[in-house]
Amino acid sequence: MNIKMIVTDLDNTLLRHDKTVSDFTVDVFRRIRERGALIVFATARDFRFVTEYITPMNGIAPDILIADNGALARYNDKDLYKKLIPFETLNTLISRYDLIRCISTERGYYLSGNYTNDHWSLGKKETVITNLSQNTNEDALYIDGNTNKAPSSLTENIPDIRVVTYSDVSLVTVVHREATKLNALNATCNALKVKINETVIFGDDYSDIEMLSNCTNSVAVANAIDECKAVAKYICDTNENDGVAKWLESFVLE
């Protein structure tokens, strides 16, 4: 395969359940980089904390970040794609729904004082513990939390947002309606003059379905939700068994 870009989700895709990768995976990504291919992490995580664990511990540094569920794509400290929720819309969400766990803006990561299990961000200098029930004057990359409302009810009267759900946690994330991993990837490909069929995409959950559906070389890990496996061209081994690295070694490094 003539592959110029490797795009992978992190949690439950590249990372094992303990948030690590094996020495084998590290070696495969080193060889991928030696081939000249760009490495892209496409994740729901906040852009400040994408490489919190994987890069310091294992040395796999991405060339490009697609973070915040596609609200941001960044390469060499330059934003290739950015879609923010206007603060007026954000304030409407805050006043209407009891869902706020955190709000991510470009300036700060604001975490509710009632939420004490955010292992990505607690104790970090970028994290502000605050009362999130008050109005804000900052546009946001996303707002998330828990709610007993149906996801569709959040968007009924707010057409400029969409709601992201997850298969493994009872959490909803609200982003700009154009903030998707696929939109961020397309903008990245256009900026770097890489064709979509020159990429390989790995994923496992709802936010990956659109990317997997629109890429010739799409791969779902065996532990992915059925919807991902239904649209992916290939199925690789599980995240626990180095599925991403094994596939890359067999099809890209052959």
Classify 49 in phi/psi space as left (phi over 0), alpha (psi -120 to 50) or beta: alpha
* DSSP single-letter state for residue 60: -
Instruction: Report pLDDT digits (tens) over 77-113.
Output: 999 999 999 999 998 888 877 778 899 999 999 998 8
Contact, 186 vs 201, CB < 8 A?
no
Mean pLDDT, the chain, as a whole number?
A: 92
This prediction's pTM: 0.94
Amino acid type, 77? D
Instruction: Report pLDDT digits (tens) over 154-192.
Output: 788 788 999 999 998 888 899 999 999 999 999 999 999
Question: What pLDDT was estimated at residue 53?
Answer: 67
Q: At what angle do helices 243-251 and 23-34 cross, to 10 degrees?
A: 40
Longest dimension (CA), the chain: 55
Contact, 202 vs 219, CB < 8 A?
yes
- 205 closest CA partner among 18, 28, 38, 42: 42
Residue with tokens 């895709």: 13
- 64 closest CA partner among 180, 173, 184: 184
Q: What does the pLDDT average to over 26-45?
A: 96
Distances (CA, A) of 65 to 78, 102, 181: 10, 20, 11
Q: Which domains does the chain have, with CATH numbers?
A: 5-82+179-251 (3.40.50.1000), 87-176 (3.30.1240.10)
Contact, 191 vs 75, CB < 8 A?
yes
